[in-house]
């Protein structure tokens, strides 16, 4: 009689994997996970999220708040908004007159003569009610015997508090420029979008405007901001290229705005241009100054001119310069008008500032060379549209992101 194997008898014990094989399998699994999640590891900023459910006209929502509220009324601005301290003011305005009020034009030492009756002058701003202390603001061309009237800033900006949130309260201080102030308000109301600073409320009776507060300030503060320890990790070509892309996106919005084709006229030099934009906490760009956005109407043949004074320098587009030579005194009524392609000319210079001189920025400049060369065409009609520049920037960003991704995968 055969005896079966004892009940519960086990088969041969399984062989254990050598430690080296287990380590290799773990490393292979880790590489697969890294490969699949590489887009999360290679961080290229995608820019601020679009606003699929933006608030309806006359309403606003602030960051991290999904609900929409109506613009604050005069009564709410007076009772609910508490000014804390002054943080800024509007630009100093100048105009020509036969007598100077707080400033004057005086011949600059060594200034060259630019034709009959035209010379290089220094614009001097006097301390109010005293000529004992003078500060030179800038050198400007002045046609004798006219002098420049220098007046105080048209409005002041106060860091304020509303419902425990920091906001910016702008208050007009010079009633004689109220029309400009109201025009800026009108444009701010009409152009509310992700590209423009958020309007929270206004009161025409009190000449006040309330907007969202951006503590990083104007775009010209970029280098100082990125030098802070808190933001040093953002000082990369990826983030800087995203800023440049955001700047072009604002121009594209203006050139195809709900009101028509608008030209960014407050852009006679680089510092002036940068002062028109704010840097947000998530490192995007919003337009803050909208009081000089004339409309191009091609159907009626209406072009624009940015101001009534002569523009100089390489920053402005060639068609913005006086075309009749140094021997002919500047006359505003003889100055030809132009269109939005003046904004395109300035893109390479603004982008160069935004890209800075960090590791990788020269590589970005190399890839942007062709589109920037097109932007600098002497013939305005041959320059690309802002939308075409935006598309080119996006292609470069995608290309460099894919290149960085491929290089990282090869290293794994």
Shortest CA distance to 277 belongs to which of 323, 334, 346, 324?
Answer: 346
In this structure, what token pair is assigned to residue 216? 């990083």
Residue 204: what pLDDT?
96
Read off the pLDDT band of 7 (50, 70, 90).
low
The more confident residue out of 218 and 52 is 218
Task: Give per-residue pLDDT as tens, 199-221.
Answer: 999 999 999 999 999 999 999 99
Percentage of the chain beyond pLDDT 70 is: 69
Output the pTM of the full model: 0.75
Task: Give per-residue pLDDT as tens, 114-130.
Answer: 433 334 344 444 333 33
Residue 104: what pLDDT?
41
Mean pLDDT of the chain: 80
Q: Average pLDDT for residues 347-363, to the nearest whole number?
A: 96
Least confident of 114-128, 166-180, 273-287: 114-128
């Amino acid at each position: 009689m055969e005896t079966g194997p004892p009940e519960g008898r086990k088969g041969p014990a399984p062989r254990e994997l050598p430690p080296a094989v287990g380590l290799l399998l773990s490393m292979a699994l880790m590489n697969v996970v890294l490969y699949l999640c590489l887009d999360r590891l290679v961080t290229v900023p995608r820019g601020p999220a679009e606003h699929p459910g933006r608030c309806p006209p006359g309403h606003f929502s602030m960051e991290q708040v999904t609900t929409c509220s109506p613009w604050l009324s005069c009564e709410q601005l007076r009772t609910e908004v508490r000014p804390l301290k002054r943080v800024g003011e509007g630009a100093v305005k100048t105009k020509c007159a036969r007598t100077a009020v707080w400033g004057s034009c005086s011949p600059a030492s060594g200034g060259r003569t630019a034709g009959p009756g035209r010379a290089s002058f220094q614009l001097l701003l006097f301390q109010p009610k005293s000529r004992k202390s003078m500060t030179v603001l800038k050198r400007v061309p002045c046609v004798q015997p006219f002098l420049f009237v220098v007046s105080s800033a048209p409005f002041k900006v106060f860091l304020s508090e509303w419902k425990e949130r920091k906001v910016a309260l702008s208050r007009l201080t010079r009633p004689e420029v109220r029309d400009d102030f109201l025009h800026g308000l009108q444009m701010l109301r009409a152009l509310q979008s992700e590209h423009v600073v958020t309007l929270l409320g206004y009161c025409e009776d009190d000449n006040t405007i309330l907007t969202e507060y951006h503590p990083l300030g104007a775009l010209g503060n970029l280098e100082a901001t990125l030098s802070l320890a808190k933001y040093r990790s953002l000082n990369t070509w990826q983030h800087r290229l995203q800023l440049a892309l955001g700047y072009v996106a604002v121009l594209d919005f203006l050139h195809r705005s709900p009101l028509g084709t608008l030209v960014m006229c407050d852009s006679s030099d680089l510092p002036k241009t940068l002062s028109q934009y704010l840097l947000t906490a998530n490192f995007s760009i919003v337009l803050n100054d909208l009081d000089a956005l004339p409309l191009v109407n091609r159907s009626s043949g209406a072009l624009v001119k940015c101001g009534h004074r002569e523009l100089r320098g390489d920053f402005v587009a060639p068609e913005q310069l006086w075309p009749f030579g140094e021997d002919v005194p500047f006359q505003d009524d003889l100055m030809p008008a132009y269109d939005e392609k003046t904004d395109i000319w300035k893109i390479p210079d603004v982008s160069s500032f935004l890209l800075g001189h960090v590791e990788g920025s020269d590589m970005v400049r190399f890839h942007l060379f062709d589109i920037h060369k097109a932007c600098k065409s002497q013939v305005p009609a041959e320059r690309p549209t802002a939308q075409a520049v935006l598309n080119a920037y996006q292609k470069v960003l995608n290309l460099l992101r894919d290149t960085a991704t491929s290089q990282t995968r090869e290293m794994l």
